[in-house]
């Protein structure tokens, strides 16, 4: 029985990026759908679960993608609610690469230093990738400071993380200028920049000035980057004593994690690969 991956994309044209990765992960039969939403997804899921016998459902899987992470989360929720009893297939959600990117970034940090008890600060913490990086740092028992333009905006992210990890040590900090951001970073060992394209959090020379900083990861590949001292190609590059990673430097591991996640969907029919399971895969792929 041939493995089938159904790609449910919330954009009009299903991501060609996700399609290439699926093929390179060994998928032969890829059913790509664009404009998938909460209404039309039910019939697609029925087609996934009602066509093969329960013992063969592990040969069918679903990938949820698209540029809008919130829509992807809603779609994942709808898809899993359509399943019942043994009538389910494994599903992965990685809209805009949010889960594989966050997982790769935190796994890379763990490769360089002990995260438990470490002091980490996340810039752009309220965005989809920033939230996920923060959640994974909390999972690793780091002390996480969420930075956003106003304290209010960081609250829902903090609450969401605390709902999963009641003991998580989460701080909030507001910063609306590079100067304020640099001040907020002082004393932290790790900084992650996960802002939207076009937002520069830390200007040139910041890394050398932030006290105690050991590792900096900038997940924005499009200029201007989020941390001016980091270039997208940086990969464990030492800059003023700080280990630096740019978006493409993280990208190699991210791609491996994405492919491994696709492959593992077909191991059985009841997986839901979102942030944490994908992080577990990232640790395996990174040899941790």
Instruction: Report if residue 82 touches its own copies, rule: CB under 8 A.
Output: no
- The crossing angle, in degrees rounded to 10, of helices 98-112 and 128-139 is 40
Among 255, 261, 262, 281, binds its own copies (CB under 8 A): 255
Contact stretch for its own copies (CB under 8 A) within 8-16, 68-76, 207-215, 234-242: 8-16
User: Does residue 4 interact with its own copies by CB under 8 A?
Assistant: yes
Of 135, 29, 67, whose CA–CA distance to 75 is shortest? 67
Nearer to its own copies, 9 or 135 (CB): 9
β-sheet with 4-9: strand ranges across: 29-33, 4-9, 60-65, 90-93, 272-273
54 touches its own copies by CB under 8 A: no
To its own copies, the closest distance from the beta carbon of 164 in angstroms equals: 32
Min CB(47)–its own copies separation in Å: 3
| Part of the chain binding its own copies (CB under 8 A), chosen from 18-26, 125-133, 162-170, 183-191 | 18-26
Extract long-range pairs of 71-80: CB within 8 Å, 24+ residues apart.
71/10, 71/37, 71/95, 72/10, 72/96, 72/98, 74/38, 75/8, 75/10, 75/36, 75/37, 75/38, 75/41, 76/272, 76/274, 78/38, 78/41, 78/42, 79/8, 79/41, 79/45, 80/272
Using CB under 8 A as the binding rule, whether residue 145 contacts its own copies is answered as: no
Q: Is 222 in the site for its own copies (CB under 8 A)?
A: no
Asked if residue 64 binds its own copies (CB under 8 A), the reply is no
Task: Give the shortest CB-36-to-its own copies separation in angstroms.
Answer: 7
Distance of alpha carbon 118 from alpha carbon 141, whole angstroms: 8
User: Should residue 136 be labelled a site residue for its own copies when binding is judged by CB under 8 A?
Assistant: no
Residues forming beta bridges with residue 244, ordered by sequence position = 216, 237
CB-neighbour burial class of residue 178 (10 A; exposed 0-12, middle 13-18, buried 19+): middle
Query: Which region among 43-51, 117-125, 175-183, 226-234 touches its own copies (by CB under 8 A)?
Result: 43-51
Q: Which bin fits 61, alpha (ψ -120 to 50), beta or left (φ > 0)?
A: beta
- Judged by CB under 8 A, the residue of 38, 51, 165, 186 near its own copies is 51
Does residue 30 contact residue 60 with C-beta atoms inside 8 Å? no
Q: If binding is defined by CB under 8 A, does position 107 make contact with its own copies?
A: no
The rounded distance, in Å, linking the Cα atoms of 249 and 245 is 5
> Does 223 interact with its own copies (rule: CB under 8 A)?
no
Smallest gap from residue 283 Cβ to its own copies (A): 23
Choice from 5, 10, 19, 126 touching its own copies (CB under 8 A): 19
End-to-end CA distance of the chain: 34
The single residue among 24, 152, 179, 204 that binds its own copies, judged by CB under 8 A, is 24
Residue 271 makes contact with its own copies by CB under 8 A: no
Residue with Cβ nearer its own copies (162 or 235): 235
How far is 129 from 81, CA to CA, in rounded Å? 24
Number of residues that bind its own copies (CB under 8 A): 34
In the complex, which residues of this chain contact its own copies (CB under 8 A)? 1-2, 4, 6, 12-13, 15-21, 23-24, 29-33, 35-36, 40, 43-44, 46-48, 50-52, 60, 67, 255
């Amino acid at each position: 029985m041939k493995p089938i991956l159904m790609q449910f994309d919330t954009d009009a044209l299903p991501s060609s990026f996700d399609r290439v990765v699926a093929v390179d992960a060994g998928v032969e039969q890829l059913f790509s759908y664009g404009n998938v939403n909460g209404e039309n997804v039910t019939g697609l899921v029925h087609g996934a679960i009602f066509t093969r016998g329960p013992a063969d459902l592990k040969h069918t899987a679903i990938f949820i993608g698209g540029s809008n992470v919130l829509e992807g989360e809603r779609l994942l929720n709808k898809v899993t609610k359509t399943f019942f009893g043994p009538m389910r297939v494994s599903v992965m959600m990685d809209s805009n690469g949010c889960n594989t990117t966050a997982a790769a970034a935190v796994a890379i940090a763990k490769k360089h230093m002990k995260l438990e008890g470490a002091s980490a600060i996340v810039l752009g913490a309220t965005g989809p990738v920033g939230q996920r990086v923060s959640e994974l740092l909390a999972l690793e028992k780091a002390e996480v400071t969420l930075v956003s333009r106003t304290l209010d905006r960081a609250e829902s992210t903090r609450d969401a993380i605390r709902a999963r990890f009641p003991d998580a040590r989460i701080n909030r900090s507001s910063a609306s200028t590079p100067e304020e951001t640099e001040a907020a970073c002082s004393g932290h060992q790790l900084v992650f920049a996960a802002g939207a394209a076009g937002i520069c959090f830390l200007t040139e020379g910041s890394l050398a000035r932030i006290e105690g900083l050991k590792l900096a990861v900038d997940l924005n590949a499009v200029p201007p980057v989020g941390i001016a001292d980091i270039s997208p190609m940086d990969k464990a590059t030492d800059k003023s004593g700080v280990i630096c990673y740019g978006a493409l430097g993280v990208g190699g591991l991210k791609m491996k994690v994405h492919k491994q996640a696709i492959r593992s969907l077909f191991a059985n029919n009841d997986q839901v690969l979102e942030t944490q399971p994908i992080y577990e895969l990232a640790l395996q792929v990174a040899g941790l």
